[in-house]
């Protein structure tokens, strides 16, 4: 007994295409009708919201849609700042409500309440970094939130050259980051603070010369931390072996700062270092002009005989050995030169007027070198 195969309906390919085309047309015709009926329902619901539960739900839906539309409009509609740059500096301890208020006062957002709500919902309120934020052009509330989310604080690359004193460092920070220079210097010379936090007597010599990436609004302690961290990173391990006449990190930095102030180039630093090491070993006065200039507050003029008699622990013409501490922040080359002087029997040197020095073994040789330099300078002035 054989089984009969069930009849199967087979559609041709073009019939499938016609089917989907017809379904699409019906759907396209139905959507406007559905939307129209929905809006008619909403209109009726707003006209008599308490007539039925259905109307009440429709009225609530209308309110939700209008609220959502308003919020979207306020979030994405920009404020046109034009070419003007408006900045907002957020302090490290600023509460979130103050940030929102400052944004509204600065004309960067229309509603601080909407900003707070949007920031909290998107968890951006916990991601805002302290610093300066710059805005220009067309700025919406969304743009402000996006900038905070990406932590796009305004930054500055600031270079501190070798040989800066804490006073010149403070001036550079004041000119570029609006740091109060008096407060910075007060912090730098506060030995109670530096001993407690860094175990050093003041910051002179330890603010490592380098190019740093700062952000606007950074605090003084943050700057100091960055520069001290760089100092320890760059000098890691190099103070493990010290010479008898410079047997502490402070002594090495003190001598290195004098070398930094004297040298016109890195090549001569080991030779200059050898002169001072020889003088320290033989207990001869260092007679380093930069120490006098430091004692006089950083004068930028030739020294006089009266200057050499200034009463100061930094006067190496009257006081033996090294001065009490560094006179600037030396670079790595000067620090290495202080640790590894050239092997010479030089006891003197004089600038030759072209950025280099003439080194001498004896005082007689030194006086001859000084005389030659004076003669040469006179000839150059005449020409």
Answer yes or no: is 169 within a domain.
Answer: yes
The Cα 121–Cα 117 span in angstroms is 6
pLDDT in tens, 7-63: 555 556 666 676 677 666 766 666 666 665 556 555 555 655 555 555 556 556 666
Model's pTM, two decimal places?
A: 0.74
Q: Which of 211, 234, 257 is a domain's end point?
A: 234
Listed as ranges, residues in the chain with pLDDT below 50 are: 1-2
Q: Under 8 Å CB-to-CB from 117, ≥6 apart: which residues? A: none
- If asked whether residues 93 and 201 sit together in one domain, one would say no
- If asked whether residues 259 and 374 sit together in one domain, one would say yes
- If asked whether residues 329 and 264 sit together in one domain, one would say yes
Specify the pLDDT at position 11.
56
Q: Which of 173, 207, 234 is a domain's end point?
A: 234
The total number of structural domains that make up the chain: 3
- If asked whether residues 180 and 303 sit together in one domain, one would say no
Answer yes or no: is 268 within a domain.
Answer: yes
Q: Domain containing 210: what range?
A: 155-234
- If asked whether residues 260 and 325 sit together in one domain, one would say yes
To the nearest 10 degrees (0 to 180), the angle between helices 249-262 and 332-339 is 120
- If asked whether residues 289 and 378 sit together in one domain, one would say yes
- If asked whether residues 267 and 349 sit together in one domain, one would say yes
What would the DSSP string read from start to end of 128-185?
PPSEEEEE-SEE-HHHHHHHHHTT---EEEEE--TTB-HHHHHHHHHHHH---HHHHH
- If asked whether residues 319 and 378 sit together in one domain, one would say yes
Answer yes or no: is 88 within a domain.
Answer: yes
- If asked whether residues 185 and 92 sit together in one domain, one would say no
- If asked whether residues 92 and 199 sit together in one domain, one would say no
Answer yes or no: is 91 within a domain.
Answer: yes
Answer yes or no: is 359 within a domain.
Answer: yes
- If asked whether residues 225 and 299 sit together in one domain, one would say no
Q: Which of 149, 174, 189 is a domain's end point?
A: 149
Find the CATH number of the domain harbouring 89: 3.30.1490.480
Helix (H) or strand (E) holding 359: strand 357-360
Specify the pLDDT at position 163.
95
- If asked whether residues 255 and 376 sit together in one domain, one would say yes
């Amino acid at each position: 007994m054989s089984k009969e195969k069930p009849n199967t309906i087979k559609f041709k390919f073009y019939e499938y295409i016609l089917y989907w085309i017809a379904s699409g047309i019906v759907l396209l015709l139905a959507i406007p009708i559905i939307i129209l009926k929905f809006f008619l329902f909403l209109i009726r619901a707003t006209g008599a919201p308490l007539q039925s539960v259905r109307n009440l739900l429709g009225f609530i839906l209308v309110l939700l849609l209008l609220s959502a539309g308003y919020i979207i409009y306020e979030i994405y509609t920009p404020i046109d700042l034009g070419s003007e740059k408006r900045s907002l500096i957020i302090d490290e301890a600023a509460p979130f409500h103050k940030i929102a208020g400052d944004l509204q006062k600065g004309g960067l957002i229309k509603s601080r309440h909407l900003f707070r709500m949007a920031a909290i919902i998107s968890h951006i309120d916990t991601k805002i970094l302290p610093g300066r934020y710059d805005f220009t052009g067309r700025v919406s509330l969304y743009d402000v939130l996006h900038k905070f989310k990406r932590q796009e604080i305004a930054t500055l690359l600031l270079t501190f050259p070798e040989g800066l004193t804490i006073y010149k460092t403070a001036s550079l920070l004041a000119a570029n980051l609006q740091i109060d220079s008096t407060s910075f210097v007060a912090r730098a010379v506060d030995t109670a603070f530096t001993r407690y936090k860094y175990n050093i007597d003041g910051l002179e010599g330890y603010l490592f010369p380098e190019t740093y990436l700062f952000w606007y609004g950074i605090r003084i302690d943050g700057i100091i931390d960055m520069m001290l961290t760089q100092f320890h990173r760059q000098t890691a391990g190099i103070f493990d072996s010290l010479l008898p006449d410079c047997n502490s990190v402070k002594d090495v930095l003190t001598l290195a700062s004098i070398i930094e102030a004297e040298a016109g180039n890195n090549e001569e630093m080991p030779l200059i270092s050898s002169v001072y090491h020889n003088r320290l070993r033989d207990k001869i006065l260092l007679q380093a002009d930069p120490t006098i200039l430091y004692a006089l507050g950083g004068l930028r003029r030739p020294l006089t005989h009266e200057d050499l008699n200034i009463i100061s622990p930094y006067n190496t013409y009257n006081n033996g050995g090294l001065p009490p501490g560094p006179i600037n922040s030396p670079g790595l080359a000067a620090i290495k030169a202080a640790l590894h002087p050239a092997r010479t029997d030089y006891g003197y040197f004089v600038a030759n007027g072209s950025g280099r020095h003439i080194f001498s073994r004896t005082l007689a040789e030194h006086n001859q070198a000084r005389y030659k330099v004076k003669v040469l300078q006179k000839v150059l002035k005449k020409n």
